[in-house]
Amino acid sequence: MTSPTSQPPRTGVPTLCGSLSLHAVGLGAAMHTAGYRALGLEFVYVPFTVTKLAHALTGVRALGIRGVGVSMPYKIEATELVDALDPMARRIGAINTVVNDGGRLTGYNTDWIGAVTALEEVTALGGARVLLLGAGGAARAIAHGLRERGAELTIANRDLAKARALAGEVGARGVWLDETKRAGSYDVLVNATSVGMSDVKAASPVAESAIAADQVVMDIVYKPIETELVQAARRRGARVVHGGRMLLHQAAHQFELYCGQPAPLEAMDAALHAQLAPA
C-alpha cells in the first residue's frame, strides 16, 4: 500500500477507495471522484452497500482498499473492528473514516473536523459562546470538536438527560430545547438535530425572531441545502453556514488521509452542489 504522505507511482492500476453504508447515497463518490480528476490521481471511489460490516472490513484488508468512509449505522461498531483509533475518534467513540496502511486499519472521525472547519471559515471558535442543538451521533462529534477548539458550549436537546450526559462528558452545559428562545444571545448557533431534513418535514428548530443579526448560524442538515433555518437566518442578517460546508470539509479531510495531498476544495464543492441541487 502507499503511505498517506507519498504520491503513488503511476502503474495503470488504480487505487481503490469507497464507502461502507447500509444505503449508499453517492455524495462521497461525487466529491472524491471530482477530487481525483482535478489532481489527475489514479484513484477510483466505489460506494459499497453492506449489511455485514466486519466482513466488509475484512474485504478492505484483503483487497488492499486504501480507505473507506463509514456511515450510520456503522460508525460505532466500526471502532471495535479497526486496529487503531485516532485520539479524537477514540474520545468521540465513533468513526466515519478507515485508512488502510498495508492491512492495518486506523479509524478516524472527520465529522468533527468538517464542522469546526466550516465554522472557522467564518468565525473563531476559541472562547466563542456556542449553542448546539441536539445530542445524537452528529451532535456528539461536533460537541467534542467545539470543545477541542475551546468554545464555551451549551447543548440543548429535546431529551434533557441526553443533553446533560453529553455535556458532562465534554465539559459543557446541558439544557432543554427551550433554550432556543435565547438562541440570539449566543455567538454561534448550530443545529445538529434532524429537524429540517427534507424527508422529515420542512421546519426550523428555532423561531426566526430568536435569531440575531450578529451571530453565526450553522445547520448541519444539507438536504435541502436551503433549510428553513438557513433561510430564516439569512432573512435576519446572520452569517450562515449551510450543511454542505461541513460535508465538504469532512470529505476533504478524508481525501487528504487517503491521497496524502491537499484536497481540491473547489472541484469537490462543485461536485457536491451538482448532487444537492434540486432536480
Residues taking part in catalysis: 75
Nearer to ligand ATR, 14 or 136 (CB): 136
Calculate the dihedral angle through the C-alpha atoms of 166, 149, 153, 227, rounding to the nearest 10 degrees. Answer: -90
What are the grid coordinates assigned to 85, written together? Answer: 483509533
Axis-axis angle for helices 243-259, 27-39 (nearest 10): 50
Check residue 12 and report its DSSP letter.
S
The Cα 60–Cα 233 span in angstroms is 43
**DSSP category for residue 155:** E
Report the residue closest to ligand ATR, judged by CB: 136
Q: What is the dihedral of CA 8, 11, 12, 15, to 10 degrees?
A: -40
Stretch that binds ligand ATR, among 29-37, 90-98, 147-155, 157-165 (CB under 6 A): 157-165
Q: Contact between 4 and ligand ATR (CB under 6 A)?
A: no
Interaction of residue 178 with ligand ATR, rule CB under 6 A: no
Q: Segment contacting ligand ATR (CB under 6 A): 103-111, 120-128, 190-198, 226-234?
A: 190-198
CB atoms within 10 A of CB 58: 12
Q: Does 136 bind ligand ATR (CB under 6 A)?
A: yes
Which range binds ligand ATR by CB under 6 A, 89-97, 158-166, 233-241, 251-259? 158-166
Residue 137 touching ligand ATR (CB under 6 A): yes
At a CB cut-off of 8 Å and minimum separation 6, what does 4 contact?
Answer: 99, 101, 256, 257, 258, 259, 260
Which residue from 33, 79, 109, 157 is in contact with ligand ATR, where contact means CB under 6 A? 157
Beta carbon nearer to ligand ATR, 41 or 228: 228
The residue from 90, 162, 173, 239 that contacts ligand ATR (CB under 6 A) is 162
Q: Is the dihedral of CA 222, 227, 229, 232 positive or negative?
A: positive
Q: Using CB under 6 A, which of 61, 90, 129, 158 touches ligand ATR?
A: 158
Q: Is 61 an interacting residue with respect to ligand ATR (CB under 6 A)?
A: no
Could you tell me the end-to-end alpha-carbon distance of the chain, in angstroms, rounded to an integer? Answer: 40
Binding segment toward ligand ATR, per CB under 6 A, in 48-56, 128-136, 143-151, 222-230: 128-136
Nearer CB in complex with ligand ATR: 35/174 = 174
Asked if 221 and 201 touch (Cβ cutoff 8 Å), the reply is: no
Minimum CB distance to ligand ATR smaller for 157 or for 254:
157
Binding site for ligand ATR (CB under 6 A): 72, 134-139, 157-159, 162, 177, 193-195
